[in-house]
Amino acid sequence: MHAYANSEREAAVESDNPHALIAVMYDELLRSMNSFYANLEKNSADLELRGKSMSRSLTIIYALQSSLNFEAGGEIAENLFRLYEYARQQLLASAKSEESEGIKGAIDSLAEIRDAWRMTGSQNAGQASGTPQAAAQTGAS
């Protein structure tokens, strides 16, 4: 199963499909944030893994924020930026306080966006560049 997921990620990265690339970024962000979340417990935390997961999550959030097209995406792009910023702030706050409540909320919100993103891709079968969501996230119009 892990090999299949890796090959799916590699195919999306190598394709000319920005929608698929964003979907992989969402998947990787959620995987990293869940790993961070799982290692917040002081007694059983793998501090090295928590640090790597936090760093990877912050890097992916930055990439998602940087890919937003505010001119084409308008309000959707602004709302996505706010969501990414919220997730970033929750990561930093959870790292400092070791409290999991805020990070769990961010993970849940991002999972909803990821699921909606996947639905737009399957409904449009690769033609999602015309949707407002795709225009907001990938700069397509």
Say if CB 65 and CB 120 are below 8 A apart. no
Domains of the chain: 2-138 (1.20.120.340)
More confident residue, 73 or 123: 73
Say if CB 26 and CB 34 are below 8 A apart. no
Q: pLDDT of 33-90, one tens digit each?
A: 999 999 998 787 899 999 999 999 999 999 999 999 999 999 999 999 999 999 999 9
Q: What is the pLDDT averaged over residues 86-107?
A: 94
Residue 18's pLDDT band (boundaries 50, 70, 90)?
Answer: confident
> pTM of the entire structure?
0.80
End-to-end CA distance of the chain: 35
The pLDDT of residue 42 is 77
The pLDDT of residue 1 is 54
The pLDDT of residue 67 is 93
Token representation of residue 61? 């959030």
